[in-house]
Amino acid sequence: MSIRKKWYITLMQTDSSKMVSLTISKHIGSMIFISIFVIMSLFASGAIYVWRRQADLAQLSRLEKENALLREGMSNFSNQMDSLLIKIRIMEEWEDHMRQERRLRVINPDVRALGSGGEPFIAPTFLPFCNELHELFNSNLSKMSFLSAKTALTFETHFDLVISLQTREQMYRSTPTIWPTFGRITSIYGYRNHPVFNYRIFHAGIDIANERGTPVYATAYGIVSFAGRSGQSGNLIRIEHASGLQTRYAHLENVFVSVGESVHKGQIIATMGMSGVSTGNHLHYEIFDVTRRTTVNPNQFLSLSENQISLNR
């Protein structure tokens, strides 16, 4: 004879002596236990799914915000590059104006445009995620590459302009462009009859007459290479200039400079007289091209402005 096993469940209130006893079979008890376990498992799985779903939604919301901020940041970056390109264009226009005004070489517009040869590089960074970001990112890459090249070119041309202006200023300082004294021109550059010896001879400079003691000025920055008596020229001053020219001042009365002395443009270096072979008080003024070993007509330099000075003498 078999004995059926049963489960006994006793329930008792804590504040009472009453007890309730239940008797259920083992099979039913097992079914109830399994059902409770399954329900609890389903509840736990549902809770985990809901938690994960909420986490995914929160992550998606965060990514959407980051995506929007990234697009906004890229757009702002693009606008800033556009602003820089506009400023560079203004600088280019200023430089072109300066070059035209100073009679310097103007940059070819095709050089400034930089050209656009070949296929542009496409970075696939954002292609798997968002086509809009992909296009915006590569647009910024292209614009940044152009901006970088534009900045380098503008720096180079501006630097060239500064060097050219400094060179021209130095050339102007050392080029005899001012009048050496005040007075009237009594003899020009070229062939003439000698006023004393009365024969035709080449006159290598210009003669400017005025009263004795009229100031004589250095016509350019330079270094005195001779200051003293020199035959028919009488009291003579020679000044060497960095431009490759030499100026000569003859028939002077008083000499105020000495050999090796640096003089500046417009400095009083002597007074007019009639020393040497001369028929009256005047200054004989010459310009000698040291490189070509020949005199040049002073009139081609007198009253030149800085912008008219050639950098390729």
For the chain, give every domain's residue range. 6-68, 77-113+120-173, 184-308
Q: What is the CATH number of domain 184-308?
A: 2.70.70.10
Q: Bigger pLDDT: 269 or 62?
A: 269
Phi then psi for residue 208, to 5 deg, are: -120, 120
How confident is the model over 22-48, as a mean pLDDT? 77
Least confident of 5-19, 73-87, 155-169, 272-286: 5-19
Is pTM beyond 0.85? Reply is no
Query: Could you report the per-residue pLDDT of 215-258, keeping only the tens digit for each?
Result: 999 999 999 999 999 999 999 999 999 999 999 999 999 999 99
What pLDDT does residue 22 have? 64
What pLDDT does residue 208 have? 96
| pLDDT band at residue 10 using 50, 70 and 90 as cut-offs | low
